[in-house]
Structure 1
Amino acid sequence: MYQTLTFLHSLFRWLVLLSLVYSIFKACKGYFLNLEFSKIVDSLRHWTATVVHVQLVLGIILYSKSPTVKYFWKNFNEAKASFDILFFGLIHIALMLFSIVLITIGSALAKRKSTDKEKFAIMLIYFSIALIIILLAIPWPFSPLAQRPYIR
């Protein structure tokens, strides 16, 4: 079960990144070209937030079952000295939660704005900031913070 969740989490990592990048592209294009905030773009906004929330649920389940995280919370004083354990026990989840909050707020605000330009601007700002935070918080194989393979 844990391996299946880990695989789904890795798969959804890419779906989150792809949907965010595409949403940001559409928001940028819509904002600068003064396009209409169509039902397709609104669906993209909605489904991007949905994919991110599914990833959140998978991440919380994995976080609660992770032996690294369990060690971190049971041995907090010793574990916080190891940056790798600190990253997975606290930094990663804090940054990811913050980015998901930004995406959720950005999605909700964009939905409620009255003009298309405002909708695109909100989506562009909130989703872009969230993407930058997510890119920093992902344990890429080349990351100086913590490393994991692309797909486990």
Structure 2
Amino acid sequence: MYSTVFFIHSWWAYLVLLILVIASINSLIGFFSKKEYSATDFRIALFTLIVSHIQLLIGLILYFVSPYFNAFSEGGMGEVMKDSTLRLYLVEHPLMMILAVVLITVGYSKHKKKLTSRPKFKMLAIFYTLALVFVLSRIPWGAWF
């Protein structure tokens, strides 16, 4: 089960990263060019929200079926924090990705409450770009390439 979930999580991450980059760039362009908010912009923001939440669910399943998870019961949190690989996979990566999904969710929710285009793009630009920075900061790049 672990290898299947890991495979799905790894490949879905490419989609999440691509869509998040597209959504961030789209919102920045929309904000700075003062264009009108359209149905396409709404769909991009919504699709980003959906794929990131799916990735979060897959990641949570992977977290609990991962062989790394046993390190908590074997050595405790102190041992996990001493080992950089365990710390990345058990603490840093999950925490930052959960925060990124929270930022995406908050940004999406706040942008829907705005009535005009510029504030909508501003909310999306701030929250989606911050989420992108969080995601890029804690991707286990060594496992990706």
TM-score where L is the length of structure 1: 0.90
- Conserved 8 A contact 1:100-1:130: yes
| Structure 1 position 73, deviation (Å) | 4.5
2:68 alignment counterpart: 68
- Conserved 8 A contact 2:36-2:117: yes
Question: CA–CA distance in 2 between the matches of 1:74 and 1:110?
Answer: 45
Question: CA–CA distance in 2 between the matches of 1:73 and 1:85?
Answer: 13
| Structure 1 position 40, deviation (Å) | 1.0
Where structure 1 has 5 or more consecutive residues not aligned to the other structure, the ranges are 142-147
- Conserved 8 A contact 1:72-1:85: no
Greater helix content: 2
1:112 alignment counterpart: 113
2:48 alignment counterpart: 48
Question: CA–CA distance in 2 between the matches of 1:38 and 1:73?
Answer: 51
2:144 alignment counterpart: 149
Q: The residue matched to 2:144 in structure 1 has which SS?
A: coil
Residues 71 and 115 of structure 1: CA distance in aligned 2, closer, same or farther (over 3 Å):
same
- Conserved 8 A contact 1:102-1:130: yes
| Structure 1 position 63, deviation (Å) | 0.2
- Root-mean-square deviation (CA, aligned residues, Å) is 1.2
**Any idea what the Cα deviations from partners look like across 1:65-104, whole Å, max 9, x if unmatched?**
1111221344223232112111111111111111110010
Identical pairs, percent: 33
User: 1:109 corresponds to which letter in structure 2?
Assistant: K
Aligned length: 144
Q: The residue matched to 1:15 in structure 2 has which SS?
A: helix
Q: The residue matched to 1:37 in structure 2 has which SS?
A: coil
- Conserved 8 A contact 2:2-2:66: no
Question: CA–CA distance in 2 between the matches of 1:72 and 1:51?
Answer: 29
1:58 alignment counterpart: 58
User: 1:5 corresponds to which letter in structure 2?
Assistant: V
User: 1:149 corresponds to which letter in structure 2?
Assistant: W
Where structure 2 has 5 or more consecutive residues not aligned to the other structure, the ranges are none
- Conserved 8 A contact 1:20-1:48: yes
Question: CA–CA distance in 2 between the matches of 1:104 and 1:87?
Answer: 24
Residues 67 and 111 of structure 1: CA distance in aligned 2, closer, same or farther (over 3 Å):
same
Question: CA–CA distance in 2 between the matches of 1:56 and 1:100?
Answer: 7
- Conserved 8 A contact 1:31-1:120: yes
Correspondence 1:94 to 2:95: yes
User: 2:110 corresponds to which letter in structure 1?
Assistant: L
